[in-house]
């Protein structure tokens, strides 16, 4: 039992206390009325020459006693009802508050009055209300997070899917494709299909990650940068620099890292100006791994919802590594700085 609960008065004791106070007040009033009433009656009879024999005096005392008792009982009842009415009114307040909470207004709080079991009841109801509101807020947060994950992963599926469509169109357009070219195209299609499969599995598993430890994670970065160059080198002038990325050990989910670079590729393909170079810099240091991608924005580029979802997906992945994504954008230039800290 808490100290506060120990200090709390019991409602039954409060009622008994009210009863005692009202009874004492009524008793004082009763004796006052008797003595005052008898004195007033005897003086009245003496002033008006009304004789008072023993029998008349007995009847007069009985009348004054009855009137005093009736007045004292009424006084007791009225006083007790008035004083106890505060408690009854508080019970009504609690009932009204419970009805409000049942109606769904979880932000409502019962006022705390007194220091008894009714106060404890109001505190308990408020606690349950706060707990229920917190649970519902948590459920809404989880629902929103799940929906955001589904949107982000659904967006990320589009990039490899677009690549598969492009490769198959190129292959079908080449009438005299060599066996080596067909093998390369099929290899690319297979790799992109594998990415779609991996992202779909993440979607079905509710965002489950597959983190692997790399003794030399620079090799993974080199592979991802190479894929970045292969996807864009035919359409853009690239300036890629990973010289500041020394060999380092780290733990990564390969599919997450690939999704970061796929989103960078997708944004470049949609919104970058072809006449100016696309820059990509990767370095590691005290802050962890930093990926910086910069490009000029083509005129009349419509940065649609897919663009925002791509950045959101990058940010979400970066947060899995205790990092973040900073976007610096103007009408002519776009730059994103991705930091992965907990490796």
Cα 276 from Cα 271, distance rounded (Å): 12
Q: Provide the pLDDT for residue 1.
A: 47
The verdict on 100 and 216 lying in the same domain is no
Cα 60 from Cα 45, distance rounded (Å): 10
Here the CATH number for the domain that contains residue 326 is 3.30.565.10
The verdict on 218 and 332 lying in the same domain is yes
Q: Provide the pLDDT for residue 3.
A: 47
Binned at pLDDT 50, 70 and 90, residue 7 comes out as very low
User: Which 3 state secondary structure label does DSSP give 116?
Assistant: coil
Residues 242-288: pLDDT tens digits? 999 999 998 998 888 888 898 898 888 888 888 899 999 999 988 88
Q: Which one of 57, 88, 105 terminates a domain? A: 105
**196 or 306: whose pLDDT is higher?**
196
Residue 117, class by beta-carbon neighbours within 10 Å (0-12 exposed, 13-18 middle, 19+ buried)? Answer: middle
Domain that includes residue 32, residue range: 3-105
Residue 299 has a CB neighbour count (10 Å cut-off) of 8
Q: Which one of 105, 130, 153 terminates a domain? A: 105
Q: Is residue 18 part of a domain?
A: yes
Instruction: State what percent of residues in the chain have pLDDT above 90.
Output: 12
Distances (CA, A) of 101 to 109, 120, 135, 300: 9, 17, 15, 53
Q: Is residue 204 part of a domain?
A: no
**Taking a C-beta distance cutoff of 8 angstroms, is the pair 218, 247 a contact?**
yes
Looking up tokens 């106070």 gives 21
**Taking a C-beta distance cutoff of 8 angstroms, is the pair 200, 224 a contact?**
no
Binned at pLDDT 50, 70 and 90, residue 42 comes out as low
**Taking a C-beta distance cutoff of 8 angstroms, is the pair 23, 76 a contact?**
yes
Is the full-model pTM beyond 0.75? no
**Taking a C-beta distance cutoff of 8 angstroms, is the pair 342, 211 a contact?**
no
Q: Which one of 83, 105, 127 terminates a domain? A: 105
Has residue 167 got a pLDDT over 50?
yes
Cα 300 from Cα 108, distance rounded (Å): 51
Residue 322 has a CB neighbour count (10 Å cut-off) of 12
Count of domains forming the chain: 2
Residues 64-117: pLDDT tens digits? 788 888 888 888 888 877 777 667 677 777 777 777 777 777 767 777 776 667
Q: Is residue 181 part of a domain?
A: no
Strands 324-329 and 288-296: unpaired
Q: Is residue 13 part of a domain?
A: yes
**52 or 143: whose pLDDT is higher?**
143
Q: Is residue 197 part of a domain?
A: no
Q: Is residue 123 part of a domain?
A: no
Which helix (H) or strand (E) segment holds residue 336: the answer is strand 333-340
Q: Is residue 336 part of a domain?
A: yes
Mean pLDDT of 175-185: 73
Has residue 5 got a pLDDT over 50?
no
Q: Is residue 261 part of a domain?
A: yes
């Amino acid at each position: 039992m808490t100290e506060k609960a120990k200090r709390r008065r019991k409602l039954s004791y409060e009622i008994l206390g009210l009863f005692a106070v009202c009874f004492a007040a009524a008793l004082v009033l009763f004796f006052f009325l008797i003595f005052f009433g008898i004195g007033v009656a005897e003086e009245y009879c003496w002033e008006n020459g009304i004789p008072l024999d023993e029998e008349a005096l007995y009847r007069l005392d009985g009348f004054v006693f009855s009137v005093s008792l009736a007045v004292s009982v009424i006084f007791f009842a009225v006083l007790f009802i008035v004083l106890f009415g505060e408690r009854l009114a508080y019970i009504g307040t609690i009932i009204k508050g419970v009805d409000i909470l049942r109606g769904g207004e979880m932000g409502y709080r019962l006022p705390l009055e007194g220091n008894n079991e009714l106060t404890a009841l109001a505190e308990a109801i408020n606690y349950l209300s706060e707990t229920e509101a917190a649970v519902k807020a948590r459920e809404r947060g989880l629902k929103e997070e799940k929906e955001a994950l589904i949107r982000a992963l659904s967006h990320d599926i589009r990039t490899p899917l677009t690549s598969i469509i492009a490769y198959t169109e190129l292959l079908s357009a080449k009438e005299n494709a060599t066996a080596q070219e067909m093998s390369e195209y099929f290899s690319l299609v297979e790799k992109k299909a594998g990415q779609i499969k991996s992202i779909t599995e993440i979607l079905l598993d509710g965002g489950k990650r597959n983190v692997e430890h790399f003794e030399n994670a620079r090799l993974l970065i080199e592979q991802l940068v190479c894929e970045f160059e292969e996807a864009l080198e035919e359409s853009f002038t690239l300036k890629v620099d990973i010289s500041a990325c020394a060999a380092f050990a780290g733990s990564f989910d390969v599919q997450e890292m690939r999704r970061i670079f796929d989103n960078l590729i997708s944004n470049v393909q949609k919104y970058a100006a072809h006449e100016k170079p696309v820059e990509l810099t990767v370095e590691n240091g005290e802050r962890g791994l930093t990926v910086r991608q910069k490009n000029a924005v083509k005129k009349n580029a419509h940065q649609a919802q897919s663009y925002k979802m791509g950045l959101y997906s990058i940010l979400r992945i970066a947060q899995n590594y205790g990092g973040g994504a900073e976007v610096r954008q103007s009408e002519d230039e776009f730059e994103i700085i991705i930091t992965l800290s907990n490796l």
